[in-house]
Amino acid sequence: MRISQRRALVGQVTGADLREIEGTLDTGGIDPDTADKFVENVLGTYAMPYGVALNVQVNGRDYVVPMVVEEPSVVAAASNAAKMARAGGGFTAEWDPSVMIAQVQVQDVPDVHVAVRKILEHEREILALADDVLGGVTTRGGGARAVEARVLADDVVVAHLLIDCKEAMGANLVNTAAERVANRVAALAGGRVGLRILSNLCDKRCVRVRCRVPAEALATSDLPGGAVIDAIVQASRFAELDPYRAATHNKGIMNGIDAVVLATGNDWRAVEAGAHAYAARKGRYAPLSIWRRDGDYLVGTLELPLALGTVGGTLRVHRAARLSLALLNVKGSGELAAVAASVGLANNLAGLRALATDGVQRGHMAQHARSVALAAGAAGELVERVARMMVDARDIRLETAKQALASLVAFEMPIQQASSR
Ligand code: NAD
């Protein structure tokens, strides 16, 4: 399909206004004047490709999932693996309430154990102080929920204030609450206030997704589905045994998650920080997802903290982020996290399947060959043909592309002239 046809179709199936899709995506969603209100010393804006993952089904609902990403194959891989998962009923997901952690560090504490006891004894008072500054969220059913206190050293205590941020990511909300309660917490502990800020290891706000893929959906032209299951399980074990592999395994997951996070105007640095801290929570860096065989099925599970907002942050001002939420039509931040995590698991599946069977090399070579063909001057359908000739010859160079293009043009021209006569 051409871009204009895709936009019309996505408008049709999602109910989004076609003029809004066109107006937003032709400009990228923000102009330099708007960008100037986001950050400092603005010179302009920087565009990225905006695509949609297809075939994504989560808890029985179909989604057209916006992805903003510059890396070739990520959108295709998500769509392809989502189709495999779909053959087994799609993704199932569940998520925690939107509880974020505000940290208040207290230093120079004379007796840390007494400090912890006193902070906990005054939980209700601290929660009420926090709720005082959480206005909008408390009226929407959120607000401060609990206080925890931990000893970090002989003279250092940290109080955790747990806050339900509902549909917001919550960083600013939580920081405001931390500042509000800090003096009181320090006074209770008998120490001095240190930092007051959220933790990006928001492990009270996890999402868990699962898929169950039938063997036949995984088969390749060379390998039966059962062999692919075994290969993927072995690839999963490799990541479980080795942090060097786990880092790359998780990168494959974040390919999908970050693209959705970015498309929906959310803070991908916060998500990345939380994901990797969670991956190392047991003292050793580990994969966020695990793959196992269950009879003739491959079962994948993924769990990670995911603080996403459907209100607040940049959403108010970024037109493309608002469009993404309109296309997704999610009810809230938990559902958004479930979709993002499902796409992450899909990208993970696609990556493992490619690595464990063909090797990703073939796919990457094809993509690289297309770029070289374009650079050699190929256009239209000749791009694909020149690229395929180079892949088949296992020789992907500009010179080879030029020769292939010249031979195709020389061969085709007389045929075209003959047929037009
Ligand atoms: P925000 O400051 O825009 O607060 C959310 C607002 O939405 C509040 O005013 C709230 O009252 C309102 N709201 C309306 N409807 C709501 C609903 N249904 N549920 C919840 N709130 C509702 O945004 P935020 O989410 O507090 O903070 C997110 C921003 O903070 C991001 O842009 C992020 O980049 C940034 N940030 C991140 C960090 C970090 O991760 N370490 C630190 C500082 C700031």
Are the C-beta atoms of residues 284 and 188 closer than 8 Å to each other?
no
Share of the chain above pLDDT 70, in %: 96
Q: Indicate if the pLDDT at residue 362 is higher than 80.
A: no
| Structural domain boundaries in the chain | 3-90+207-353, 99-199, 363-420
Contacts of 293 (CB under 8 A, 6+ apart): 229, 230, 233, 299
Q: Which helix (H) or strand (E) holds 264?
A: none
Q: Whose CA is nearest to atom 29 of ligand 1?
A: 313
Query: Which atom number of ligand 1 is nearest to the Cα of residue 167?
Result: 19
Class of domain 363-420: mainly alpha
Ligand 1 centroid – CA 165 distance (Å) = 8
Nearest to 152, CA basis, from 99, 181, 122, 195: 195
Give the model's pLDDT for residue 278: 98
- The CATH class for the domain spanning 99-199 reads alpha beta
Q: Which residues line ligand 1 (CB under 6 A)?
A: 136-137, 140, 142, 165-173, 198, 200, 267, 270, 309, 311-314
pLDDT band at 420; cut points 50, 70, 90: very low
Query: How many angstroms separate the alpha carbon of residue 170 from the centre of ligand 1?
Result: 4
Spatial distance between the Cα atoms of 294 and 301, rounded to a whole number of angstroms: 12
User: Which residues have CB under 8 Å from 383's CB, separation 6+?
Assistant: 370, 373, 374
Question: Is the pLDDT at 400 greater than 90, yes or no?
Answer: yes
pLDDT tens, position by position, 285-332? 999 999 999 999 999 999 999 999 999 988 888 999 999 999 999 999
How far apart, in whole angstroms, are the C-alpha atoms of residue 207 and residue 336?
A: 10
Confidence of residue 59 (pLDDT cuts 50, 70, 90): very high
Task: Tell me the pLDDT tens digit for each residue of 210-230.
Answer: 999 999 999 998 899 999 999
Q: Please give the Cα distance from 409 to 295 (Å, whole number).
A: 53
Crossing angle (nearest 10°) for helices 171-189 and 123-132: 140
pLDDT of residue 364 exceeding 70, the answer is: no
**Closest protein CA for atom 11 of ligand 1:** 136
pLDDT digits (tens, 9 = 90+) for 239-270: 999 999 999 999 999 999 999 999 999 999 99
Sign of the alpha-carbon dihedral angle for 159, 273, 174, 128: negative
* C-alpha–C-alpha distance, residues 29 and 38, integer Å: 13
Length of the chain: 421
359, containing H or E segment: none
Residue 109: what are its φ and ψ, rounded to 5°? -85, 125
DSSP 312-328: STTTTT-HHHHHHHHHH
Encoded tokens for 327: 């296309």
Mean pLDDT over each residue of the chain, to the nearest integer: 95
Report the atom number in ligand 1 closest to the C-alpha of 198: 41
Q: Is 167 helix (H, G, I), strand (E, B) or coil?
A: coil
Supply the pTM of this predicted model: 0.88
How many whole angstroms separate alpha carbon 93 and alpha carbon 166?
18
Give the strand order in the sheet containing 143-153: 143-153, 156-164, 99-107, 192-199
pLDDT band at 421 (very low <50, low <70, confident <90, very high): very low
Q: Is 79 in contact with 66 (CB distance < 8 Å)?
A: no
Q: Cα(61) to centroid of ligand 1, in Å?
A: 27
Give the tens place of pLDDT for each residue, 88-110: 999 999 999 999 999 999 999 99
State the pLDDT at residue 394.
80
Measured between alpha carbons, how far is 137 from 141 in angstroms, rounded to an integer?
Answer: 7
- Structural tokens at position 41: 């010393």
Tell me the C-alpha distance between 31 and 372, whole Å. 33
How many other CB atoms are there within 10 angstroms of residue 288's CB atom? 24
Residue 360 clears pLDDT 50, i.e. is over it:
no
Q: Give the per-residue pLDDT at 419.
A: 46
What is the CATH number assigned to the segment(s) 3-90+207-353? 3.90.770.10
Structure-token pair, residue 99: 């509880």
In whole angstroms, give the CA distance from residue 87 to residue 232: 17
Give the closest residue (by CA) to ligand 1 atom 24: 170
Interhelix angle 361-375/381-393, rounded to 10 degrees, is: 130
The CA-atom distances, in angstroms, between 376 and each of 383, 387, 397 are: 9, 10, 9
C-alpha closest to that of 392 among 355, 411, 366: 366
Q: Is the pLDDT of residue 414 over 70?
A: no
Tell me which residues are annotated as active site: 71, 251, 267, 364
What pLDDT does 365 receive? 74
Q: Can you tell me the mean pLDDT for 377-388?
A: 93
CB-based contact 390:401 (threshold 8 Å):
yes
